[in-house]
Structure 1
Amino acid sequence: MKPTLRKLFFLWFMLSAPIGVMAQEEVNGTVKEASTDLPLPGVNVVIKGTTTGTVTDFDGNFQISVSEFPATLVFSSLGYKTIEQSISGGGAVNVVMEQDVTGLEEVVVTGLATTIKRSNSANAVSSISAEELVGVAQPQTLDGALAGKFTGALVSANSGAPGGGLSVKLRGVTSIFGNSQPLYIVDGVYVDNSSISGGLNDVSGAAGQGSSSNQDNPSNRIADLDPNDIKNIEILKGASAAAIYGSRAAAGVVIISTKRGKQGKTQFNLSQSFGFNSVINLLGLRDWNEERALDAFGEGADVAYAEARDAGTLVDYEKEIFDNKGFISSTGFSASGGGEKTTFYAGMSHKNEKGIVKNTGYERVSLRLNLDHRVSDRIKLSLNSNYIYSSADRGFFNNDNTGSTIGVTLTSLPPWAKLQPDAEGNYPDNIYGGSNPLQTIALMTNNEKVNRFIIGGSATIDIYKSLKSDLQLILRGGLDGYNLNTRAIFPKELQFEKRSNGGLNGQSIQGSTENKNINYSAFLVHNFNTDSNINFRTQAGITREVFDRNSYLISAFNMIASETNVDQAGGQRIDQFRLKQEDSGFFVQEEVNFQDKLIGTIGLRGDKSSNNGDANKLYYYPKASLAANLHEFDFWNLGKVNQFKLRAAYGEAGNFPAFGSPFTSFNSTFIRGVADQSVVGILLDGVLGNPDIEPERQKELELGLDLGLFDNRLNFEFTWYNKKVDDLLVQTNREPSSGFTTEWKNAGNLKNTGVEITLNALPFDGEDFTWNSNVTFFKNKSEITELNVPAFNLGAFGASLGTYRIEEGKSATQIVGISPDGLVKFGDGEPDFQMTFNNNLQYKDLELSFLFHWKKGGDNINLTSLLTDLSKTSHDYDDFGLDPTGTLPNGEYRAGQVGTSADVFVEDASYLKLREVGLYYNFPGELVERWFDGYIANIRLGFTGTNLLTFFDYNSYDPEVSNFGGNGLSAGVDVTPFPSSKRYMFNLSVDF
């Protein structure tokens, strides 16, 4: 630039700059809540078409500088309807905001560092608020609170034991041998949800026959989280939405955001809940008489029965063991607030829950501190920290090949058995089984202890801001580290541990797991607004995750002098499992928003992992979507129709191969000799590694329609999806001559198709009475579309009793079994459909909420009935109805089908449950203020219940059961589980 031009430019700039400054005018005002007329803090106030904005303070006041008039101010806050207010000049602007009962104004995830208004989303992302999660009933665990709350999910209780044990499957089967549980992310931290064995199979022998899957009833780690700390949950159910998480997202993603503080006076909340639980369902006793006792237990049993009957000493051991009331106590305290620069949320909670079986229970202590600090107008820092301690006593249940577990022993126990201890506390042996269950409950230990830290942090840096564009740098990091200690003690006094009974003189099984997940990410997000109000948002970033686990399990037997230390034993076996996985990748995405009319997105994720056959190969996962808000176009004029959105989304996601699957492993062995003179050799472990193994790849197309009517008091959402999974990971059999028994392969494809329908309604919205209602319907159907290995059975205990079968052209969850006509299909684990009916009714200060959940179809393999049939103790043994000829009673007929047909063991697991019910009274504010002179702001008192009503024809304790846990296809297998319970709670919450 020439010197004269530079001088002229400088002079123009010096003269025009003050003009620009002087042209700005201050606009201020107050934002209030419509129903209470109270000020609303934390409301975002933005000049439309720009990134200039501010936030209301504790008193609802705001002030913003506006340089051009006329202008439009946009007021938005989570849970409230967005308001656009036109202004022609400076001065005061007062706004009243109404609650958004439709949820259209809430934001949902659209990228790793961005969100989008639900009304503009092209995906059916399910959101669960804090009120929906814990506002009705206090859940036992976080994952238990998800049941029935959103479409597309099958939530199964693997165990009724205190401390959790649930599985969540989103939109059907996503893997056969790989991970089928969703990825959980808490405030940006990848958290672990493993179920780690405590080694009880060494005592029960459960893995000795049939399936070798984990059957010893461990809890899952997502149960560690305190649901009361959570602000909202978003569920990305398929690849079309979850592609942004790449190779860990094939089973879906559950994104959890915890509570944060707001600017203003410190607010406190104290909550206290007391209650109890009880068993949902008891099967009852067989209608005994002398003849039946003699037939079932042989000579002398008829006399023993008659003597106990006449003496009044018959004992219903099912009631004795399961019909107990477990006391529950839950205490929570939180504080939140902050100043102009720093806000905080601190939460503390203690939960203590006794189980319906004596000496079982769960205790959890949770401490949370979330901090947000604004260093300057351009830099914001956030810290999330959570410490958790938990202890769970889970009893001794599920499958058993040694006659030692409580449930299996109960199936062979008559009511005249004498099992009570004597005056000195000595228990007699049970002559009708391998153990005395009362003794086992009193003396054995099965405990899990967890110490866990979940820590995350982020930095948001505004690199530059202008009227039309801005650029942000977002840095995130997280750590999830825990130590799990398991301790299972079986003292030598137990019947099945006595040497005289062939026992091992006591066993001590102790394990420890150290788990550490670390994740880092960095993103650039650029926003650009054109003069025609088209917004372009570009984001790009890199990610890295490290997963490190070290587990060991020591099983000791022949305990010396009743010691429990594993070194005080005649023999030990040590198992160790070490895992280290490193993943890294990148993500790019472009979003275009044309005046909220057309919203398009295109993105790409690239991942590589040490679990893949080629650890340096990048696997790419694209995504694309389009949402069309037809009601925003000028030609739209249909009166009562407020929203009409068409949406389409496509995405791909992956599922890593199992750890170690690219490699062939070896085991050590002694060739000859003992002690220091032995010669050590190696053996193959029987599994052939595959250096070319690749991730499973999920491809999902989702189409949908959203409709809002009558000022959005009636909202309808319809979604259809087609989800294909290619390169299925399969552990297939090898010919024995190869020296291996199995090998890992990518050997097939499957697909899931389904529909999800949601109807939200506000039938009444008056000054005194309000009624919100929500109805959902969803169904899924799966099919193995290609299988490059021979069809094979998987899960349960073989075709004679019913098993899952993977077969080309068939459902991925079909259940087959032997029959006189050969191997046939007897059922399917996939429900025909699921529906929920959720309502909230408020009359003045009284509030009633309830949630019904109907699962139609979906079969279980019920082997609990088989065990009681074989012992001739079934409650319905003498009833008729199963035998087509009408000649054999039910119990005799079922037992006679073993080795002939598996039909009777495959049962319909339909149910209708009152999942939650809550009745609350909110004390009037003026009354509370008068009573407590303004020191207390709100008092909420209520009664809640969980699973209070259950309706099903299934012949066991609860159709929601899974003996093998929730991973893979072995769900829905019923072998003497820890029964489910219902909960009654009284709740008090005080804000001050």
Structure 2
Amino acid sequence: MQNYKRLLLLICLTAPVWVFAQINVSGTVVDSKNNPIQFASVKIKNSNAGTSTDASGKFSLTIPGKGGVLDVTFVGYKATSANVSAPTTDLVITMQEDVGHLEEVVVTGLASSTKRANVAHAVGVVSAKQLVGTTPQATVDAALYGKFPGATISSNSGAPGGGISIKLRGITSLVGNSQPLFIVDGVYYDNSSINSGQNFISKAANQGSTNFQENPSNRIADLDPEDIERIEILKGASTAAIYGARASTGVVIVTTKKGKSGKPRIELGQSIGWQMQLRKLGMRTWDTAKVRATYGASGLTLYNANGGKTYNYEDELYGVHGFMNNTRVAVSGGSDKTSYYAGMTYQDNQGIVKHTGYRKTSFRVNLDQAVTKFLDLSVNANYVESNADRGYFNNDNTGTSMGVAYVSTPSWVSLYPDANGNYPNNPLGPSNWMQTRDLSKHNETVNRMLLGGRATWKVIKNNMHDLKIIALGGIDYYTLNTKEIFPQVLQFEKNGNGTNGALLYGTTVTRNDNYSALAVYELNPNNGMIFTTQAGVNAINNNLNTIVNTATQLIGTQTNIDQAGAIQVEENRIISKDRGFFAQEEVNYKDMVIGTVGIRGDKSSRNGNADKLYYYPKFSLAFNATSLLDVKALSLLKVRGAYGEAGNFAPFGAIYSPLVPINFNGTTGSIVDVTRGDANLKPEKQKELELGLDAGVLNNRISVEFTWYKKDVEDLILKVQVPTSTGFSTGWQNVAAIQNHGVEIGLNAVPVLTKDLRWNAQLNWWKNTAKVTRLDVPAFNVGAFGASLGTYRIEKGKSPTQIVGIGDANDKVDPLTNLATFGNAEPDFNLSFNNNVTWKNFELNVLMHWKQHGDNINLSSLLSDFGGTSADYDKKSLDPKGILVNGDYRIASFGHTARPFVEDASYFRVREIGLSYTFPKELFKDIARVKIGFSGRNLINVFKYNSYDPEVSNFGIDAISSNVEVTPFPSSKSFHFNVSVTF
């Protein structure tokens, strides 16, 4: 008892010493030019305690005990540290810029990452500043144009609300999904493009090769670009293999913003601007001779009755200067145990066509909590509500869409309503496009909730061992409502011309969830070797249900489905369940030799055998010779190689022979469809070898990345003809293979670096070449609208994106097929050039993009020729003999050669340009950082392509035919005035 009292007395006497022993530190974080770095992270080493610098680069914190080490990090700068052993109020910490981004941390596994300098594969990274720092972006997909190598991007429409195709390193499927897999904060993000049923009116798919002709948007458009911290693009199979059977088309990993310890940070942003038609083609000029030649005597009577007056219908349809408004509010901060981020964005963008536009409200909350010393929790939530009015465009076989009706109507026919609002019938076509624009409705509304969570249990952590158990998962739930209203007053609906009015109401309910459990063990025996082992299991469930109700024979002006004489319902359900495991080992020897080996096993209900595991291995090795060479000017010299495999599912339902409903003599039932399923169908598999070299000199002021790859995509799935003796006419089979090989080169440089002036330049060049290496069926045409107009042909030994068609005596025709090759959708190369120049408080950003060759099938010109309205109709630039004008030449070619319909889609454009000015902080007493600017998108465009934009296609999301256009909604250019305030 006496000893106990003495121990208690000793504790009481010494407690003030060890409880209150602490050091107060304050200072400033600056760059090499002594400019303050705001919002840099300052943490106490081996602790969660820390803070972040304010708008003036200042910080203050308390270090318990007798001192310690401060770790300072900030994106774009090399991590640094400072020893603190005594109280100080004027500590200055200088950070050196990470010119080559070698300190940047990139993903190497499902739960591991490493410095960019150590990775053994090509890395595509888009930062928050690159994504939206120059120009406000309505959608994430639009923001990705030209910002990373290895991608071919095309839009399936210029309509508001997004809708693009991203193909990474070439064609990876012939009929399957061609879009990369999106992962947002660990949640598998649905990016479906869902049709509205518009084909019921347009009949577009009656002759085309695909159903993707209804101008659908992508659901990645729901993600708010302002919320994103960084995007990593896993282009190669060696990196995507860890995601297994869903990753052969590549993986896009999106990380959203998080809070940092320190006082609350408040960001306010406002942008207003206008968007307008990217390029005007102009109108054909008319006289009586041209009218008589095109429309005959009856047309001349109409022309004279109107007194020869013409109207600028191009401006009438596409001439709206759409107002664009973007409002942003975000709050972030935290303590040593808790960090939070909350953001809200409201967008309201009017389209360039009357009654079109895009409105979106997005809320995001991210919360990170250190529950105990050994347990961390992270939760993120995102709610999005969007509303898009996309118009009625793209191909149709009824002449009723606005684009087709516009090019079919000469400018001397009046389509304007009378004083009572009654629209005249179009005397030369089935549709008055002005009436369709003003009276029909084409809307899609989305309500989406994304929830994700991550729990990390730090089982062991010491100098040698670090073991973590991680559980993560998420739910992606949304409803999409589409509305197509074609009132009975429309010319093509009344008087027996159509269905006396039509309503098409679609509802899609999607619920996707994914769950993973994994362990990560790091062994550091302090001999220069570091071993990182990870293994785990995961489950992915998808459920998409689309119901389209079509009502016709409407009662008066009613828009309720039940107020109609005829109603039909179609339902499409896509349900899949995937289960898998993964394991990976990474070995790092003194950042000099870095090797990785891993494997993923997946099984799925979409495979012929739902219980069979398919395996996807990966291997990579990097050797960093920088330290061995001991060359002062050399900052980095690394050689690397990687190999990996990844998969792609068959189209949903391809393993089954479907049943179709039938009504026979009043009795309902089902009969077997003519397409046979294949119970032995295997997933498509990609195998890729990648080799590369990374080098940097002068402290990485100049650095280069070179990558060569060869990618074989095997067991490609096609619907092929089968012997009729089987009872079927077609069936799904694994019958083809494609090989892609290409080169990607990236050059980063800081050509100018002075106290006041800095110029950062990034140049990316890439190309891909593909050919069909296996084809177990006869060569066939696919996509587009047939050989007379130009189509794609799948043929062994040839490119899968070659464009062929019928030819005449001037064309080199294959005698076996009677077809000529007119081009290839694959470009010769792409080159992007991004520049960032800062001078004092001014900043200039310019992003340029050059695409060399790559052909489109342009059918907009032919349709306008048939209407006699082509702007270039009377020019003589196409006929080799110099006899026929362009319009007559294209019409005369129809049915004889597809040559004039295949056009070079090269372009050069300034995708983004922005100039901003940051006010001196003294003006606002160091309380706020205020920045104003002007920016523009697609303001400069140079191309000879004979339409509105060579990047817009009717089949943007299709695997093959993504370079075909038939009067799509044109693209826009825009300019914006921006102001942001950060407290």
**TM-score normalised to the size of structure 1?**
0.93
Shift of 1:319: 1.6
State the Cα distance separating 1:881 from its structure 2 match: 2.2
Q: Is the 8 A contact 2:744 2:765 kept in 1?
A: yes
Q: Contact 2:540–2:577 at 8 Å: present in 1 too?
A: yes
SS for the counterpart of 1:133 is helix
**CA displacement, residues 467-520 of structure 1 (integer Å, 9 cap, x when unaligned):** 2111011110101100000110000000000024x2211000001000011000
For the 8 Å contact 1:279–1:981, the answer to whether it is kept is yes
1:219 Cα deviation (Å)?
0.9
For the aligned residue pairs, the C-alpha RMSD in angstroms reads: 2.2
Which residue identity is paired with 2:41? G
Q: Determine the structure 1 residue equivalent to 2:613.
A: 618
Residue equivalent to 1:665: 658
- Cα shift at 1:95: 3.5
SS of residue matched to 2:117: helix
Report if aligned partners of 1:58, 1:263 keep a CA contact under 8 Å in 2.
yes
* Aligned mates of 1:651, 1:63 — CA distance in 2: 48
Choose which of 185, 195, 198 in structure 2 pairs with 1:197. 195
Matches within 5 A, 1:483-562: 483-500=479-496, 502-562=497-557
The answer to whether the Cα contact below 8 Å between 2:467 and 2:520 also exists between their aligned partners in 1 is yes
2:584 maps to which residue?
589
Deviation per CA, 1:788-836, whole angstroms, max 9, x where unpaired? 1111111111111111111110001111111133112111110100001
* Residue 229 of structure 1 pairs with residue 227 of structure 2: yes
Q: Could you tell me which residue of structure 2 aligns to residue 645 of structure 1?
A: 638
Contact 1:206 1:212 in 2 (8 A): no
Deviations 1:524-551 (A, max 9, x none): 1111112212111111111110001111
Deviation at 1:31, TM superposition (A): 6.8
Deviation at 1:76, TM superposition (A): 4.1
Letter in 2 for 1:638: V
Taking the TM superposition and a 5 Å limit, the aligned residue runs for 1:167-186 are 167-186=165-184
Q: Contact between 1:54 and 1:63, CA under 8 Å: does it hold in 2?
A: no
- Report what 1:939 is aligned to: 930
Q: Give the match's secondary structure for 2:394.
A: coil
1:784 corresponds, among 769, 772, 778, to: 772
The match for 1:393 is 389
Q: Name the aligned partner's letter for residue 750 of structure 1.
A: I
> Which whole-Å CA distance do the structure 2 matches of 1:344 and 1:928 have between them?
26
- Helix, strand or coil: the match of 1:947? strand
Q: Is the 8 A contact 1:879 1:889 kept in 2?
A: yes
> How far off its partner does 1:245 sit?
0.5
SS at match of 1:298: helix
1:82 equivalent in alignment to 2:99:
no
Report what 1:211 is aligned to. Answer: 209
**Residue pair 1:279, 1:356 contacting (<8 A) in 2 also:** yes
Partner of 2:345: 349
Q: Report deviation, 1:649.
A: 0.8
Q: Deviations over 1:160-184 (max 9, x none)?
A: 1011111111111011111110000
Distance in 1 between residues matched to 2:936 and 2:954, nearest whole Å: 26
Matched, 1:688 2:682: no
In structure 2, the residue matched to 1:15 is none
Tell me if 1:459 matches 2:450: no
Alignment of 1:276-295 (within 5 A): 276-295=274-293
TM-superposed deviation, 1:943: 0.8
1:210 Cα deviation from its structure 2 partner: 2.9
Secondary structure in structure 1 of the residue aligned to 2:297: coil
Amino acid aligned to 2:659: F
Helix, strand or coil for the counterpart of 2:865? helix
CA distance 1:921–1:90, change in 2 (3 Å): closer
- Residue 761 of structure 2 corresponds to 773
Cα distance in structure 2, aligned partners of 1:384 and 1:339: 18
When residues 90 and 325 of structure 1 are mapped into structure 2, their CA distance, relative to the original with a 3 A threshold, is: closer
**Distance in 2 of aligned mates of 1:592 and 1:45:** 28
Is the Cα contact below 8 Å between 1:32 and 1:40 reproduced in 2? no
Cα distance in 2 for residues equivalent to 1:305 and 1:560: 37
Contact 1:586 1:607 (8 Å CA) reproduced: yes
Q: 1:101-250 alignment to 2 at 5 Å?
A: 101-250=99-248
SS at match of 2:939: coil
Q: TM-score, normalised by structure 2?
A: 0.94
Aligned counterpart in structure 2 of residue 383 of structure 1, from 363, 379, 393: 379
The within-5 A match list for 1:707-718 is 707-718=695-706
Maintained 8 Å contact 2:50/2:335: no
- Does the 8 Å contact 2:42/2:70 carry over to 1? no
Q: CA deviation at 1:73?
A: 8.0
1:358 alignment counterpart: 354
- The letter for the 1-side match of 2:718 is V
Task: Give the 3-state SS of the residue equivalent to 1:292 in structure 2.
Answer: helix
Provide the C-alpha distance between the structure 2 equivalents of 1:77 and 1:966, rounded to a whole number of angstroms: 38
Query: Which stretch of structure 1 is more off in the superposition, 278-287 or 917-926?
Result: 278-287
Contact 2:181 2:251 in 1 (8 A): yes
SS in 1 for 2:975: strand
| Runs (5+) with no aligned partner, structure 2 | 1-13, 54-58
Q: Secondary structure at the match of 2:930?
A: strand
TM-superposed deviation, 1:730 = 1.2
Cα distance, 1:578–1:308 mapped onto 2, change above 3 Å? same
Following the alignment from structure 1 to structure 2, what is the Cα–Cα distance between the partners of residues 33 and 806? 58
Does the 8 A contact of 1:192 with 1:517 survive in 2? yes
Deviations 1:731-769 (A, max 9, x none): 112244533232111112111100001111111121111
Distance (Å, rounded) in 1 between the aligned partners of 2:64 and 2:856: 65
Shift of residue 391, structure 1, vs aligned partner: 0.5
Structure 2 distance, partners of 1:398, 1:420, is 23
- The answer to whether the Cα contact below 8 Å between 1:552 and 1:574 also exists between their aligned partners in 2 is yes
The number of aligned residues is 948
Shift of 1:376: 1.4
Q: Conserved in 2, the CA contact under 8 Å of 1:290 and 1:303? A: no
Q: Pick closer, same or farther for the CA change 1:37–1:301 going to 2, 3 Å.
A: closer
Per the alignment, residue 9 of structure 1 pairs with none
Q: Using the TM superposition, name which of 35-44 and 561-570 deviates more.
A: 35-44
1:86: Cα distance to partner? 8.4
The amino acid of 1:549's aligned partner reads: L
Shift of 1:94: 6.3
1:33 corresponding residue in structure 2: 30
**Would the alpha carbon gap of residues 63 and 460 (structure 1) be closer, same or farther in structure 2, given more than 3 Å must change?**
farther
* 1:49 corresponds to: none
Match of 1:3 in 2: none
Residue 212 of structure 1, CA deviation: 3.9
Q: Distance in 2 between matches of 1:94 and 1:523?
A: 41
Matched-pair contact (CA < 8 Å) for 2:41–2:73: no
C-alpha distance 119-38 of structure 1, shift in aligned 2 (>3 A): closer
- Measured in 2, the distance between the counterparts of 1:209 and 1:438 equals 26
